A = this chain, B = another copy of it.
């Protein structure tokens, strides 16, 4: 069914019927997504070929004051279930596991495509959710779940789809990198640097997520699955956080011209057709002129090594509301375009 010219909005922008979008979550990322959808409405309509209509925003607490400038207040609801049954695309940025999983499953079942930024959900239940999406002929995407706007999932699953990836190494957690960088470059004692990162709000509500490498483990599991199509789980990750490090470790590193970085890694042995994959997260000594050593403060960097392409490096901010929203919005526009194309 084609509805060309139904709603002309300047030139040919947004000629088709609106693509209906529900947003689950209005925290830092959700608010950035909602604001961008308002501010870029005309641009997105041009890019998609139809306007995007934000039909509702689910929040936990309607009473909580929030900055959603430009958003109609009656779009807010505390009943997320009411939003997932009758839309084209659901964006899940509420976090958590059980409720998110249930809502995404319901959304897919009701015919929606889904964007999520929920890395623990994808690491723990991504295989089932993708199987559900595939069975229903729907699409589930989650570029934002791994190092925010740094488009490493696009590169691993699309750009390198004709290549054979050998390994992926990365600094994929900004909070621990901030701590390690503060110690290495500014000489701040380790415990003080941890305290400082907490005070600046760089650590997750549960700081063990960052400090014990759980966040990094989720990301490397997702990357390994996409790179080799293997069912790696969080239990497979050889994981060591940074809490066991001491100032003596940092001094010893400095003495040998090295720095300590928390490196997440996934390496293939065996052939690409029958890969065996090792995944790990651990503090690692790197030479002071290595690109990882030059990855400062909260920055992330991923190095992907492939048979044909050789070594590719990607870096940028691995966290932040706007940065994460960039990836969510990229997935949103891609899904919306595909839905509009499928109307013809």
The residues of A with any CB-CB pair to B shorter than 8 Å are: 32, 36, 40, 42-44, 46-47, 143, 148-151, 154-155, 158-164, 272-273, 291, 294, 306-317, 320, 322-323, 325-334, 337
Contact = CB atoms under 8 A, between A and B. Distances in A.
Contacts of A326: 160, 162-163, 306, 308-309
Contact of A272 (B43, B149, B320, B332): B43
B162 A44 contact: yes
A327 B40 contact: no
Nearest to A153: B159
Contacts of A149: 159, 163, 306, 308-310, 312
A163 B154 CA distance: 15
Given A310-B323, A322-B308, A158 B36 contact: no
Name the 4 nearest CB pairs between A and B, nearest first. A162-B329, A151-B159, A149-B309, A308-B326
Given A151-B159, A162-B326, A272-B43, A312 B314 contact: yes
Contact of A312 (B151, B272, B291, B333): B151
A151 B152 CA distance: 10
A312 B316 CA distance: 5
Contacts of A311: 316-317
A71 to B, nearest CB: 17
Contacts of A294: 291, 294
A159 B316 contact: no
A265 B158 CA distance: 26
Contacts of A44: 162
